[in-house]
Amino acid sequence: MPTLGDKSEIWKFLLDSSSIVLTTHVRPDGDGIASELALYMILHSHGKEVYIVNQDKTPEMYSWLPEAGRIISLSQNQSLDIDSIDLTLLIDCSSQNRIGNVYDLVKNSNHIISLDHHEGNDCFRDYCYIDTTASSIGELLFSIVPDIGRYLNKEIAACLYVSIMTDTGSFAYSNTTGNVLLIASRLIEYGLNPDQIYKMIYNRKRITHFRLLGRTLQLMETDESGKVVWVLLPLSVYSDTGAVEEDTEGILEVIRGLKGLELIILLRQLDSEWMKCSLRSINSIDCSHLARIFNGGGHFKAAGFVIKGNVEVSGRSIVANIMEEAKGRGWL
């Protein structure tokens, strides 16, 4: 089902509330953060009391976005101090556990609703609107906010543009539709400089990113057909290179360039307990299906999951299980 729910209901919930918390998933990405900020500014102009609360810190690459300084990150020991919350809106999250420990803070909100574009969203509380055909939440906001043009200014346009740009791989993925390009061109009219925005996001990487990239490329393994590439990254790779979580951004984009590739499996150690797997499909392998087997989720061509364990101990068997499932389905 490409859409679930009625888009006008989301806007009604927002208009009927005075104190609103916006939140997105753990390890937030450009879509989650930039669409939170765009919606923050839109709702603020309506006189709403709005807070953005995320579990994890805003990555450096997005910290220059307008109003990004307002984002409360629980992992940075920041907290939200208000008596009651009328409404919490989950943005870009397919399930309650995706917001991490923000849930404890917002669970007593009068309403909790969700706006999403992932496959397999479990609509767990009061309302959700899901459109899996939307490239990004930024694009979705164009159908959620009635007459969005009356709110647009350079700052809001920049956030919406970043949301769409980051979730379409800079307008390169198959979710780059005519509508996406129409919206992008409309946003640019507010004085945006696409070249500058791209540089601010992707061309300010730390040297540790490149050290991690080098190690990752050396560790690439492929199956006999060359259709599957996997990389297992233990914690030692991070400690040896000085890389941190954020430095992983962009690595999959490099691997994507390999000839004949159908599936990328990047499994990295997050800490002593947890591993994170990112899946990317080039053509017709359903990553969202593969990730859901491990209680994760995502989109057809980009999905992921976190799982307990050690990459060096169980990494290979996870890769084998994923490949077996893909073969069983006739995808490989």
Rg (CA), the chain: 20
**Closer to Mn ion by Cβ: residue 29 or 262:** 29
31 binds Mn ion (CB under 5 A): yes
Least distance (Å) from ligand 5GP to the CB of residue 64?
21
92 binds Mn ion (CB under 5 A): yes
In Å, how far from its chain's centre is CA 65? 16
Q: Which of 17, 24, 54, 94 binds ligand 5GP (CB under 6 A)?
A: 94
Q: Which of 116, 119, 131, 167 binds Mn ion (CB under 5 A)?
A: 167
Residue 257: C-alpha distances to residues 36, 45, 206, 260, 309 (Å):
31, 43, 22, 9, 30
Contact (CB, 8 A) for 66 and 190: no
296 binds ligand 5GP (CB under 6 A): yes
Q: Where are the alpha helices (DSSP H) in the chain?
A: 7-15, 30-44, 102-106, 137-144, 154-167, 178-188, 194-202, 207-218, 235-241, 251-255, 287-292, 311-328
Which among ligand 5GP, Mn ion, none contacts residue 139 (Cβ within 5 to 8 A by kind)? none
Which among ligand 5GP, Mn ion, none contacts residue 304 (Cβ within 5 to 8 A by kind)? ligand 5GP
Least distance (Å) from ligand 5GP to the CB of residue 174?
14
Size of the site for ligand 5GP (CB under 6 A): 15
Window of 46-54, 94-102, 158-166, 187-195 that interacts with ligand 5GP by CB under 6 A: 94-102
Interstrand relation of 274-281 and 297-298 (parallel, antiparallel or unpaired): unpaired
**Closer to ligand 5GP by Cβ: residue 80 or 258:** 258
Token pair for 49: 């009391």
Token pair for 13: 């919930």
102 binds ligand 5GP (CB under 6 A): no
Interstrand relation of 19-24 and 72-73 (parallel, antiparallel or unpaired): unpaired
Window of 11-19, 79-87, 141-149, 304-312 that interacts with ligand 5GP by CB under 6 A: 304-312
Least distance (Å) from Mn ion to the CB of residue 118?
7
Which amino acid type is present at position 147?
D
List residues binding Mn ion (CB under 5 A): 31, 92, 167
